[in-house]
Amino acid sequence: MCGTCGCGKHHHEHEHGHGHDHHPDDRRTIAVEQDILQRNNLLAERNRGYFEAKHIFCLNLMSAPGSGKTTLLEETIRRLKGRLPLYVIEGDQQTSNDANRIAALDVPVFQINTGAGCHLEAATVHHAFQHLNPENDSLLFIENVGNLVCPAMFDLGEAKKVVIVSTTEGDDKPLKYPHIFQQADICIINKIDLAPFLNTEVATLRENALKANHRLLLFEVSALQNTGIDHWCNWLETELTAPSH
Ligand SMILES: Nc1nc2c(ncn2[C@@H]2O[C@H](COP(=O)(O)OP(=O)(O)OP(=O)(O)O)[C@@H](O)[C@H]2O)c(=O)[nH]1
Ligand SMILES: [Mg+2]
């Protein structure tokens, strides 16, 4: 899955950790991987400078496939549209389905299709926002490719990383995939309406998210049933009017 970001390589290294010799090409592969990340970090800083100069509040939404990123965006847009300029960059391996859902709400959107790629990178995001040309004092959402692992490795220049985890995934996900929770500033627990029908305790999910990263700002929502969305949107508006993001 992850030829582009190198996490397949990490798995390979782990296997070799059990008493096998390293292949001579390994070091070169690691060097290339570091170059890719370093280059991405430089481009991400350039994006960040652009956002800061234009006072654009940019959020990078990351989650496993189907956790409800687009549904959350749709509800957020319904609340905030007309109050401030909104823009969306959509990342998916294939299709413009999510961009079509956002466009149906009359919000400027740019779809990136990554093909085999499992995450967005700063360079493609740069291309996307140049196309969108967002106004000053606006809110820019980036919906990353559905994946609970690789997007965490790639800085896009966003002000905040948001990890969304839904009750249908089980309450142990922050413990099993801690890196993305450690990288995030905000954690949104979605699909709380389904918790009573599942073997998932929202309180345990919350506790586990905080075990992975005690600094997380947590929201509990049902994007489908509109529960908790006001709280989330109020926070967004407050952040946008803050002197610095
Ligand atoms: N019951 C319930 N279903 C939800 C909720 N949020 C989203 N869904 C459903 O979950 C499914 C996936 O939602 P999406 O918003 O497309 O998820 P996504 O994270 O954008 O998916 P990808 O972009 O493919 O990774 C859809 O059938 C939604 O209707 C929720 O709060 N409760
Ligand atoms: Mg989506």
| Tens-place pLDDT, residues 85-138 | 999 999 999 999 999 999 999 999 999 999 999 999 999 999 999 999 999 999
Tell me what pLDDT residue 14 has: 37
Tell me what pLDDT residue 1 has: 44
User: Domain limits at 122?
Assistant: 7-241
Q: What is the average pLDDT score of the chain?
A: 90
- Does residue 86 form part of some domain? yes
Tell me what pLDDT residue 27 has: 64
DSSP string, the chain: --TTTSHHHHHHHHHHTTTPPPPTHHHHHHHHHHHHHHHHHHHHHHHHHHHHHTT-EEEEEEESTTSSHHHHHHHHHHHHTTTS-EEEEEEESS-SHHHHHHHTTT--EEEEE-TT--S--HHHHHHHHHHH-PPTT-EEEEE--S-SSGGGG---S-SEEEEEEEGGG-TTHHHHSHHHHHH-SEEEEE-GGGGGGTT--HHHHHHHHHHH-TT-EEEE-BTTTTBSHHHHHHHHHHHHHSS--
- Does residue 2 form part of some domain? no
Question: Is any atom of ligand 1 closer than 6 Å to the C-beta of 226?
Answer: no
Average pLDDT on 162-185 reads 98
- Does residue 103 form part of some domain? yes
Tell me what pLDDT residue 69 has: 98
Q: How far is the CA of 70 from the centre of ligand 2 (A)?
A: 4
- Does residue 184 form part of some domain? yes
In the chain, how many domains are there?
1
Average pLDDT on 139-150 reads 97
Tell me what pLDDT residue 28 has: 65
Question: Is any atom of ligand 1 closer than 6 Å to the C-beta of 68?
Answer: yes
Nearest-atom index, ligand 1, CA of 146? 25
Q: How far is the CA of 221 from the centre of ligand 1 (A)?
A: 12
- Does residue 58 form part of some domain? yes
| Tens-place pLDDT, residues 50-81 | 999 999 999 999 999 999 999 999 999 999 99
Q: Which CATH number fits the domain that encloses residue 109?
A: 3.40.50.300
Tell me what pLDDT residue 3 has: 53
Average pLDDT on 224-237 reads 96
- Does residue 220 form part of some domain? yes
